[in-house]
Amino acid sequence: MPVVTEPLDTATALQGCLSKMTIEPGSPARYLLRAGEVRLDLNACLGKPLRLEWTGAIACTHCGRATRKSFAQGHCYPCFKRLAQCDTCIMKPELCHFFEGTCREPDWAERHCFQPHVVYLANASGLKVGITRSSQMPTRWLDQGAVQALPILEVDTRQQSGFVEMLFKEEVSDRTNWRAMLKGDTRALDLVAERDRLLSRLDAGLANLRERFGADAIRPLDVAPLSFDYPVLEFPAKVVSHNLDKQPVVAGVLQGIKGQYLILDSGVINLRKFTGYEVKVST
């Protein structure tokens, strides 16, 4: 099926299983909706009608088999139970059990978990701490709808990043208030000042982790904060969420895209939540 980079003709529809939207950095960021092999330029659809209809089918994003329910954003139950990327330690890296010999996929872990990770501060709905692989910057922040981000520490492994994040969570949240993020009134923060404040308060804890993992395992980063802009014509005054499981047809005028959310005049929808759902998309 051909790649679509322009708005579809109003009499045309595309059909396929949803994947996480592709986001290209820019001012504003550029969004591509992915349904099967098709890519739809959503920025070009701003201010125009957009309709999504779930066909009732769901396909596992890993093995492709049909599934009645999606687990861990697009997996069938067997893959959810088998894959390392669906294990609890992905959400809580400090629970890594690789060295206990019980990792579901050691080869996968070597490629993904034993790579440099960054601990960062971000501002999507207020100050938060998070972790990501170095290779995922700035995608991680665009996926969250962050308007600001600042990498503060680099560590050798995902597990180490989890221990550092746990330390920071004593002082700052690791959550984004998605409703506040979508309202678009997030106040700008001095992330450098916040970094310095937190590093000072957590100095003893970081020293303990360096003693445990090695002096060079947790390295400070000296980089400038980043800012992000999103293609939004109008933010919602009240956030109403669409759910394809309850309402298989979602339609409205596309007013914006932020994070992994479409902002329609009829409500918002988190497309990442419905990864693997087969939809018909028409403009």
Residue pLDDT, tens place only, 218-228: 999 999 999 99
93 occurs within a structural domain:
no
Lowest mean pLDDT among 2-16, 25-39, 72-86, 179-193: 2-16
Do 148 and 130 contact (CB within 8 A), yes or no? no
Domain that holds residue 246: 13-64+231-282
Shared domain for 159 and 144, answered yes or no, is yes
Grade residue 193 by pLDDT with cuts at 50, 70 and 90: very high
Total of domains in the chain: 2
Shared domain for 181 and 272, answered yes or no, is no
Shared domain for 195 and 238, answered yes or no, is no
User: Tell me: the pLDDT tens digits for 122-156?
Assistant: 999 999 999 999 999 999 999 999 999 999 999 99
91 occurs within a structural domain:
no
Q: What is the crossing angle of helices 191-201 and 203-213, to 10°? A: 70
Grade residue 12 by pLDDT with cuts at 50, 70 and 90: low
Shared domain for 186 and 266, answered yes or no, is no
- Confidence at residue 38, expressed as pLDDT on a 0 to 100 scale: 86
109 occurs within a structural domain:
no
Phi, psi of 196 (to 5 degrees): -65, -40
Do 19 and 275 contact (CB within 8 A), yes or no? yes
Q: What is the crossing angle of helices 203-213 and 158-168, to 10°? A: 160
Of the residues 183, 201, 227, the one at which a domain ends: 227
191 occurs within a structural domain:
yes
User: Does the structure show a pLDDT above 90 at 9?
Assistant: no
Shared domain for 23 and 125, answered yes or no, is no
- Confidence at residue 120, expressed as pLDDT on a 0 to 100 scale: 98
Shared domain for 131 and 213, answered yes or no, is yes
User: Does the structure show a pLDDT above 60 at 37?
Assistant: yes
Shared domain for 137 and 218, answered yes or no, is yes
Shared domain for 208 and 259, answered yes or no, is no
Shared domain for 121 and 197, answered yes or no, is yes
DSSP designation for 250: E
Shared domain for 180 and 222, answered yes or no, is yes
Closest among 37, 45, 42, 41 to 17, alpha carbons compared: 37
Sign of the four-CA dihedral 131, 137, 143, 146? positive
Shared domain for 147 and 170, answered yes or no, is yes
Q: What mean pLDDT is reported for the chain?
A: 94
Of the residues 185, 204, 227, the one at which a domain ends: 227
Shared domain for 185 and 132, answered yes or no, is yes
Classified as helix, coil or strand, 260 is: coil
Sign of the four-CA dihedral 217, 222, 223, 225? positive
CA distance 171 to 65: 43
81 occurs within a structural domain:
no
